Structure 1
Amino acid sequence: MKPKVYIDGQSGTTGLQIRQRLSQRSDIELLLIEEEKRRDVEARRQRMNEADLVFLCLPDAAAIEAVELIEDPNTKIIDASTAHRCADAWAYGFVELGDAFLQGVRTNPRIANPGCHATGFISIVYPLIHQGILTKDATITAYSLTGYSGGGKQMIRRYEAGGDPLLKAPQLYALGLTHKHLPEMKQVCGLKKDPLFCPVVDDYYSGMATSILLEADMEAVHAALAGFYGEGLVHVHPPGYDGNISANAHAGSDQLELIVCGRKEQTIVTALFDNLGKGACGAAIQNMNIALGLDPLAGLHIERGK
């Protein structure tokens, strides 16, 4: 029997893309809800309790409320919001970080999908701490470029309406240095201090480039990252990268590529991926596949064998 999957919040940017992708799958049964009932609590409760797995594509407060509607503790939940990413009872769905993360997604019915900026940051910092290149008390400075789709429907409308010349240039935001992804960056990496982190949104639809500058040997950093990652959606570019890095170069892909550049004792590492791919929908579908015992790469936009 095919596993049944329901998306609570099917009309948002993330929920809509997950729905579009899953509608093409023959190995699951996608449960839908009538448009007029998508805010009906009892109708949602019924669908969620029919499902083997539920995606929550909701604002934080609504995601917390939605969890209470699921009566079967064995029903699997993948929460795409920020609400449960630092909760002890939830698995953090970044399986390339190691066996503990993979087993968490396989066995824990509560899975928090990582944030997009956090995905880029953690993909670099976690292995460098694990491999001894960075210490947990380091002060880490990072910036992250994103396409405007990461801001949701309202931001998408603003950019696509045109007419505002200020939107044609990159815009720094969260200038109070309290971006909502900071708690998971700090907790997952085991950092003792908040990173110094600045996100930047620009006039392109999707794609992300998260960069960290380090006082560390470039070759040692590359070797540490290449030695850490095995199978999965995260890959380390071979040494000797030439040219510029475009933040939208991996738009449409569910993979993440780490690019190490610089010189002796000064290194820049960039995580290049799609904020809607490995930064959101792609990661959510990967986690669903693993949680339901399906092919981990089913339905993903990847280059097989890379």
Structure 2
Amino acid sequence: MKPKIYIDGQEGTTGLQIHDRLGERDDIELLLIDPALRKDIAERKKLLNSADIVILCLPDDAAREAVAMIENDSVRVIDASTAYRTAPGWVYGYPEMSKSQREKIKTAKRLANPGCHAVGFISLVYPLVSLGILPKNYPLTCFSLTGYSGGGKKMIAQYEQEKTPDLLAPRLYGLTLRHKHFAEMTEVTGLTRAPVFCPVVDDYYKGMATTVMLHDDMLCGKQTSRTIRDELAGYYAGQRFVKVAPELGSGYLNSNWGAGTNDLMITVSGTDGETLLTARFDNLGKGASGAAVQNLNIMLGLPEETGLI
């Protein structure tokens, strides 16, 4: 019997992308709601309790309400909102963190899909903390450049249909330094000192470049850009979707690298005493819907790349 999957909130940007990735597959049964009933509580509740795995693509409060409607104990949940990313009892959905994380995802009843900026940050910072290279109290700074699709339908319409001159240049946001991904960036990596994080949105559809800057003499051991690159390459060796560039960065790094895929590329750059770490990926791929499908595959015991590029 094919596993039944229900996407609650498939009308949004992430939900549509997940639906597109799952709609052509013949190894699952995709439960669909009548468009006229998509806000009908009774119909949604029926589908939420009929699926083997539910994928929630909803705002935080709506995601909490949906979880509360699930009474069938066998239903497993992947939530793409911010609501549960640091919640007790929920597994964080970045399988490349460690072997144990992938095993946790495989058996998870409740899984929180990572935030896009957080994926970039965690892919760079978690391994270095885990390897004992980056002190947990290091004063980290991070900026993360993203395409406008990460802002959802409203922002997409602004850039594509209602563009004003201020949208032609990069725009910094999250200026309170408490962006909604901030909590998971700090907690998942085990940092004891919160990073200073500033996201930037620019006039292109999708793609993300998340960058962390380091002073080598504040790290543990005698580190250089080359040793850090080699350590990260070893950490991610054998991973299907996360790769480390073989050479130190030079020239330009385009922030729309990997658009349309579930790939993430880490590039280490630097000079004497200073290192620049950059993770590039599709904010709608490894940063959202692609990650959800990868996690779904792991939970179903399927090859992780099933239905993904």
Question: TM class, shorter-chain normalised?
Answer: over 0.9
- Residue 241 (structure 1) shift: 3.4
- Residue 162 (structure 1) shift: 4.4
Q: How large is the Cα RMSD of the aligned pairs?
A: 0.9
- State the alpha-carbon separation in 1 of the partners of residues 25 and 272 from structure 2: 48
The equivalent residue for 1:304 is: none
What SS does structure 1 have at the residue aligned with 2:58? coil
The equivalent residue for 2:263 is: 255
- Structure 1: 4+ residue segments shifted above 3 A: none
The equivalent residue for 1:232 is: 240
Residues 22, 30 of structure 2: 8 Å contact kept = yes
Residues 73, 109 of structure 1: 8 Å contact kept = no
The equivalent residue for 1:132 is: 132
**Structure 1 residue 41 corresponds to structure 2 residue 41:** yes
Residues 93, 105 of structure 1: 8 Å contact kept = yes
Aligned residues: 301
- Residue 56 (structure 1) shift: 0.3
What SS does structure 1 have at the residue aligned with 2:210? strand
- Residue 163 (structure 1) shift: 3.9
Identity of matched residues, %: 53
The equivalent residue for 2:113 is: 113
Residues 96, 232 of structure 1: 8 Å contact kept = no
> TM-score normalized by structure 1?
0.96
- Residue 48 (structure 1) shift: 1.3
1:73-88 matches, within 5 Å, as: 73-88=73-88
Query: CA 1:73 to 1:232, structure 2 compared with 1: closer, same or farther past 3 Å?
Result: farther
Paired amino acid for 2:288: A
- Residue 294 (structure 1) shift: 1.5
- Residue 178 (structure 1) shift: 0.7
**Structure 1 residue 68 corresponds to structure 2 residue 76:** no
Mean alpha-carbon deviation: is it higher for 170-179 or for 229-238? Answer: 229-238
**Structure 1 residue 148 corresponds to structure 2 residue 128:** no
Of 268, 279, 287, 2:287 maps to 279
Residues 209, 247 of structure 1: 8 Å contact kept = yes
- Residue 198 (structure 1) shift: 0.4
- State the alpha-carbon separation in 1 of the partners of residues 88 and 135 from structure 2: 23
Paired amino acid for 1:218: S
What SS does structure 1 have at the residue aligned with 2:293? helix
What SS does structure 1 have at the residue aligned with 2:142? strand
C-alpha distance after superposition, 1:147-198 (max 9, x if no partner):
0000000000000014401101000001111101010011100011211000
- State the alpha-carbon separation in 1 of the partners of residues 301 and 132 from structure 2: 34
Residues 248, 267 of structure 2: 8 Å contact kept = no
- Residue 201 (structure 1) shift: 0.1
- State the alpha-carbon separation in 2 of the partners of residues 144 and 59 from structure 1: 22
1:186-205 matches, within 5 Å, as: 186-205=186-205
What SS does structure 2 have at the residue aligned with 1:50? coil
- State the alpha-carbon separation in 1 of the partners of residues 204 and 163 from structure 2: 15
What SS does structure 2 have at the residue aligned with 1:290? helix
Residues 85, 92 of structure 2: 8 Å contact kept = yes
Residues 79, 111 of structure 2: 8 Å contact kept = yes
The equivalent residue for 1:264 is: 272
The equivalent residue for 1:59 is: 59
- State the alpha-carbon separation in 2 of the partners of residues 73 and 262 from structure 1: 51
Paired amino acid for 1:272: R
The equivalent residue for 1:299 is: 307
Residues 143, 210 of structure 1: 8 Å contact kept = yes
- Residue 76 (structure 1) shift: 1.0
C-alpha distance after superposition, 1:207-231 (max 9, x if no partner):
0000001112101210111111132
Query: CA 1:139 to 1:253, structure 2 compared with 1: closer, same or farther past 3 Å?
Result: same
- Residue 38 (structure 1) shift: 0.7
The equivalent residue for 2:219 is: none
5+ residue gaps, structure 2: 217-223
- Residue 243 (structure 1) shift: 2.3
- State the alpha-carbon separation in 1 of the partners of residues 227 and 248 from structure 2: 14
What SS does structure 2 have at the residue aligned with 1:194? coil
Paired amino acid for 2:122: I
The equivalent residue for 2:225 is: 218
1:168-183 matches, within 5 Å, as: 168-183=168-183
Residues 148, 159 of structure 1: 8 Å contact kept = yes
> TM-score normalized by structure 2?
0.96
- State the alpha-carbon separation in 2 of the partners of residues 17 and 257 from structure 1: 21
